[in-house]
Homo-oligomer: A and B are copies of this chain.
Amino acid sequence: MDFGSSQLNSTTLDPFVKKVYLELPAPSLNDNTADVDRMIKKIRKNERFSSAELSCYDFDSISATLRNSDFKVTPLLVEDKHGCRVIGVEPGDSSRRNFGVGVDIGSTRLAFYLLDLSSGKLLQKKSVDNPQIPHGEDILTRIIYARDPENKERLRRELVDCCNDTIASLAKDHGIGLHEIYCWSFAGNTTMTHFFLGLNPQNICKEPYIPVINRIPVMPVTGIGLCTNPGGVAYIFPNVGSYFGGDILAGILVTGMYRSEEVSILVDVGTNAEVVIGNKDWLIGCAGAAGPALEGGVVQVGMMAKPGAIDKVRIDRQTLEPEYSVIGDERPKGICGSGLIDLVAEMFEAGILDIQGKINTKLNHPRIKTVDDVPCYVVVFGRDSATGEDIAVTEVDIKILLKSKAAMFTILTIVARKVGLELKDISKFYVAGTFGNHIDPEKAITIGMLPDLPRERYIPVGNTSGIGAAQVLKCGHLIREVEDICNKITYIELNVNAELMAEFRGALFIPHTHRELFPSVTAWL
């Protein structure tokens, strides 16, 4: 079982929306409490729900439900820090039918977690492409697209439709009625959260980088446009800032680093590298541009981790011939981020690359070519690729990757230094995201992207965003923990100063100019 699933599995069951079956005494001349009051009174008898208040206003239908079901009903309860709200009432005992959906709103993919909240079981996980991709693979393009209010609304509508469509099909597969789904939880970065709620994202990407809202109150699903039970509610993970969103907060929640005595680090790498360091007493967050080397689109042969992407590479030290695996068992189309890290590490270890990232063109090997004056290494010849073209990595591509890895390592070094620690003092190093699951820490260490720690300290945590979203549904009071995390975290801006630039320059080498930082990387010896 992967890290996320095991964390979700071990989460206490105390659902965000609770169903409590009640048998009420029938009205009589001796007890002529009004119908709705009768139910509220009974709910409040449970000390935990003593402050229960109605937040659905169809009193007549509640009364009819009570009377048609012989005063045996199942109210739906949502707790928050100010009390407890009744959001609906069902006839008879429906307490076993209680479902919720956690969603990771990724910029590339949306991941849905359908939960049975009566048992706490994850029924199914399903990922689908983010429907906004046609409006821009990267988020900045979509932000520009959203300048037109109609486009902003289109981006919102596409996400909401995608949620409705996906869950309609999942529910059908599991024999669940949409009205039996009472809660949703969403975690995404700040911009995706804005797109999802139809909020103006323009101020996120220009100084001083201000979101519309960071702490979003629990909302009625009808206010979002979700087509599940109309009394239902949605929780949306808060953001800490424009570049530090709900997805990372979900990661902090899932790792449990905010409850640990020891100091841990969580990194999530995409176009931006987001880093959190801390323990139960403090948390420092930081985000910086890691460069787009690890996503598709910039590196010439780069592509997203999807079918056709080379995700693992080994190079024979003698023959310099590569072996690789391709996602989806197709003919290769390109190389995804983890494949690129593998490739560069292997090229370095096989002596094809020097510590500056230059290809040794003197090797006189058919895979080492110079095209338009730029040296490159051919991983797949045209005859074997899906496109008929060579799949080759150039020195230019490698430079881009080295900038990304240097940025990552610099951010880690500086953040640790800010709190007076060295990277070797970190007890656990959580690597999140698609990246975290595909990357081989060994190779990331070889190129000097991640620090040279004992390998067991690296924990790939997978899609913590989706798991975190699922966790708060399974255990509603985790919402308060998320709020505590949000209150506790100090977000620091990385100032581009002399110290940072010096660190960055040293980190541009493979693995680093300060070789003593990477004692286990021995290729250069």
Interface residues of A (CB under 8 A from B): 27-29, 32-37, 40, 51, 53-55, 57, 59-60, 62-64, 82-83, 197-200, 203, 207-217, 219-220, 223, 239, 241-242, 493
Residue from B53, B60, B210, B239 within 8 A of A199 (CB atoms): B60
Give Cα A219–Cα B203 distance, bound, in whole angstroms: 35
- Contact check, B242 vs A35: say whether CB atoms are below 8 A apart: no
Q: Which chain B residue shows the least CB distance to A197?
A: B59
- Contact A59 B216, CB 8 Å, known A32-B208, A207-B29: yes
Q: Which residues of B contact A57 (CB under 8 A)?
A: 217, 219-220, 223
Q: Which 8 interchain pairs have the tightest Cβ spacing?
A: A36-B213, A34-B214, A34-B211, A63-B212, A82-B82, A59-B213, A29-B208, A27-B210
Q: Which residues of B contact A217 (CB under 8 A)?
A: 53-55, 57
Q: How many copies does the complex hold?
A: 2
Q: Which residues of B contact A59 (CB under 8 A)?
A: 197, 199, 212-213, 216
A493 to chain B, nearest CB (A): 7
Taking A59-B213, A82-B83 as given, write out 16 further A-B residue pairs in contact, using a Cβ cutoff of 8 Å, ordered by the A residue number: A29-B207, A29-B208, A32-B208, A33-B214, A34-B211, A34-B213, A34-B215, A34-B239, A54-B217, A55-B217, A57-B217, A57-B223, A59-B212, A60-B200, A63-B200, A64-B200
Residue from B32, B54, B213 within 8 A of A209 (CB atoms): B32
Give Cα A198–Cα B63 distance, bound, in whole angstroms: 12
Give Cα A391–Cα B339 distance, bound, in whole angstroms: 104
Q: Which residues of B contact A209 (CB under 8 A)?
A: 29, 32
Give Cα A242–Cα B32 distance, bound, in whole angstroms: 9
Q: Which chain B residue shows the least CB distance to A152?
A: B60
- Contact check, B198 vs A60: say whether CB atoms are below 8 A apart: yes
Give Cα A203–Cα B28 distance, bound, in whole angstroms: 12
Q: Which residues of B contact A223 (CB under 8 A)?
A: 57
Residue from B35, B54, B239 within 8 A of A211 (CB atoms): B35
A365 to chain B, nearest CB (A): 51
Give Cα A35–Cα B27 distance, bound, in whole angstroms: 50
A218 to chain B, nearest CB (A): 9
Q: Which residues of B contact A36 (CB under 8 A)?
A: 212-214
A57 to chain B, nearest CB (A): 5
Give Cα A51–Cα B81 distance, bound, in whole angstroms: 10
7 residue pairs bridging A and B, Cβ less than 8 Å apart = A28-B208, A32-B242, A37-B215, A57-B223, A59-B213, A60-B197, A62-B213
Give Cα A223–Cα B241 distance, bound, in whole angstroms: 35
A3 to chain B, nearest CB (A): 31
Give Cα A208–Cα B34 distance, bound, in whole angstroms: 10
- Contact check, B212 vs A60: say whether CB atoms are below 8 A apart: yes
Q: Which residues of B contact A51 (CB under 8 A)?
A: 82
A324 to chain B, nearest CB (A): 44
Give Cα A82–Cα B219 distance, bound, in whole angstroms: 18
Q: Which residues of B contact A208 (CB under 8 A)?
A: 27-29, 32
A495 to chain B, nearest CB (A): 10
Give Cα A140–Cα B27 distance, bound, in whole angstroms: 22
Q: Which residues of B contact A219 (CB under 8 A)?
A: 57
A80 to chain B, nearest CB (A): 8
Give Cα A210–Cα B67 distance, bound, in whole angstroms: 11
